[in-house]
């Protein structure tokens, strides 16, 4: 029994390997991009629209509302990154229905890559919002003694993001594999439903945590509204 889809290798040459993780990731990307292109080909702004456009509008406005609720002032700036995180992890989990599919987020490589994306994006958004000096000053709050602890917390929460997602996805597939050898038929189906639920919850958790980290790094002053910067 394999621990992750990394171990299913389709093609290998030298140190280049095409394993199931890469194949399924690109398959998911293809499905997401092709589906979006197909749906957004003839967008209508009137009252009559296609069902798929309605579905996408619901999804996008729900994500935007969640981002605004966490406290980010202009959700459109962060919608691309955070929405992609949520949709990728959610669709990766939902496709477990398809037989023969292993979620690529069940491999530590994928989750570490996503966590590193968040790790890089938080300073980028922070510097864009506060300027380099303002962003670096955040690390000295509340006192400058906290500087090493702030840095350590930054690194450890990235690791926590990666391991949390990996552990949830990997345990879902592993429980399914073990149960299939013991009690086939009904019980594995119940466990796979549980796996779908935890997959969606973990997708939401991942993107909400990324949103909270970005919100903690930005919070710039908006002088025309007279809002005070929240520290």
Binding site for other proteins (CB under 8 A): 1, 3, 160, 163-164, 166-168, 170-171, 174, 201-202, 204-205, 208-209
Partners of 18 in the β-ladder: 11
In a 3-state reduction of DSSP, which class is residue 44?
coil
The distance of closest approach from Cβ of residue 160 to other proteins in the complex, given in angstroms and rounded to an integer, is 6
Least distance to other proteins from the beta carbon of 168, Å? 6
| Residue (43 or 155) nearer to other proteins, CB | 155
Between 78 and 135, name the residue whose CB sits nearer to other proteins: 78
> 129 vs 209, which CB is nearer to other proteins?
209
User: What are residue 121's phi and psi, to 5 degrees?
Assistant: -70, -35
Looking at the Cβ atoms of 124 and 178, the one nearer to other proteins is: 178
CA nearest to 212, candidates 34, 85, 87, 35: 85
| CB 124 to other proteins: min, Å | 24
Q: Could you tell me the two tokens for 23?
A: 């194949």
Q: Which of 188, 199, 212 is nearest to 164 (CA)?
A: 199
Q: Find out whether 114 and 162 touch, Cβ atoms under 8 Å.
A: yes
Q: Provide, rounded to whole angstroms, the least separation between the CB of residue 174 and other proteins.
A: 7
**Which CB sits closer to other proteins, 122 or 209?**
209
Sign of the CA dihedral running 108, 110, 111, 115: positive
Minimum distance from residue 41 beta carbon to other proteins (Å): 34
């Amino acid at each position: 029994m394999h621990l992750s889809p990394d171990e299913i290798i389709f093609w290998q040459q030298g140190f280049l390997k095409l394993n199931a993780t890469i194949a399924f990731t690109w398959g998911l990307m293809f499905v997401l991009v092709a589906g979006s292109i197909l749906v957004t080909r003839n967008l209508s702004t009137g009252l009559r629209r296609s069902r798929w456009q309605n579905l996408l509008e619901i999804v996008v406005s729900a994500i935007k509302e969640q981002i605004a609720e966490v406290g980010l002032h202009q959700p459109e700036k962060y919608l691309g990154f955070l929405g992609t995180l949520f949709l990728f992890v959610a669709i990766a989990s939902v496709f477990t229905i398809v037989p023969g599919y292993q979620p690529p987020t069940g491999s530590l490589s994928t989750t570490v890559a996503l966590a590193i994306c968040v790790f890089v994006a938080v300073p980028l958004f922070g510097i864009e919002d506060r300027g380099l000096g303002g962003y670096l000053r955040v690390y000295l709050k509340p006192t400058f003694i906290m500087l090493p602890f702030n840095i350590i917390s930054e690194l450890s929460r990235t690791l926590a993001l990666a391991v949390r997602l990996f552990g949830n996805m990997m345990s879902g597939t592993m429980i399914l594999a073990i149960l299939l050898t013991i009690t086939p038929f009904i019980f594995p189906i119940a466990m796979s439903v549980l796996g779908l639920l935890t997959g969606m919850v973990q997708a939401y958790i991942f993107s909400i945590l990324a949103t909270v980290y970005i919100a903690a790094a930005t919070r710039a002053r908006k002088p025309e509204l007279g809002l005070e910067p929240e520290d």
